[in-house]
Amino acid sequence: MRFEVLGTFSISSGSGSVPLHGRMRRTLLGVLLVRANTFVPVNVLTEALWDSKWEPRAVPKLHWHVHKLRQALPEGDRLTFDNGGYRLEVHPGELDVETFETLAGQALKTADPAQRASLIRQALTHWHGAPYEGLDVPLLSDETMRLSEHRLVLLEELYQAELELGRHASAAVELADLVRRQPLRQRAQYLLMDALWRAGRTSEALAAYRRAFRVSVDQLGLEPGPELRLLERRILAGEVAGAGAHRAPALLHRAR
């Protein structure tokens, strides 16, 4: 079986796609996948399905939803009950989140920028939208936030690698789009300024700083962090682009 939750929620097997109808069933599967290969207590599942609201027949209703999910799965015997909870057995390589995070972990461990960029791009091919289809359940919402943050960190590492490879102009284009969508991420702002500077577009790099300054002051009431201010001073001082350290500082990912 193959489980995909990074965007469209889907199950597939050798015989093709497996339909999964109903929000309750998708929520149940989502929680079981977040806790794959461990027994999830019945009370955790009922709270997820009924949003912690009192439901007089929660337990028998849960058993019914589990029964219907087991029927829908190509290998229903993988969904078992024991120790007061349900467990979904997921084999290595079957869950797109696992593949995404495995590739990401390999990328972050390599010092070679070309290999790092290649692995990150492979990881990002598994990302097709908001994880778990935006199911508004605390446990799934927390996982969605974690994965979304991980993706943004990977994007920043990708563009760092691109700068190390000398791909300043193309990195600047993609970073400008990232900054438009995530204006409070200071590392992205730093990388955009650095990419423009290295590409010989000094005035645009300084304009990017001014935009970062306005956003930080307007939305947070704070000036940008010291790393961005130092980079602006280096540009204004006429330093040679790329001189010194080649990696962006380990900034907090959001403005402070």
- Provide the token pair at 94: 């079957």
Q: How far apart are CA 238 and CA 205, in angstroms?
A: 12
Q: What is the pLDDT along the chain (256 residues), one digit of tens a residue?
A: 999 999 878 899 887 888 888 889 999 999 999 999 999 999 999 999 988 666 789 999 999 999 999 999 999 999 999 989 999 999 999 999 999 999 999 999 999 999 999 999 999 999 999 999 878 899 999 999 999 999 999 999 999 999 999 999 999 999 999 999 999 999 999 999 999 999 999 999 999 999 999 999 999 999 999 999 999 999 999 988 875 445 666 554 444 3
The radius of gyration of the chain from alpha carbons, rounded to an integer in Å, stands at 23
User: Do the bridges between strand 40-41 and strand 79-82 make them parallel or antiparallel, or are there none, so unpaired?
Assistant: unpaired
pLDDT score of 254: 45
Cβ contact 86:40 at 8 Å: yes
Q: What is the pLDDT of residue 255?
A: 43
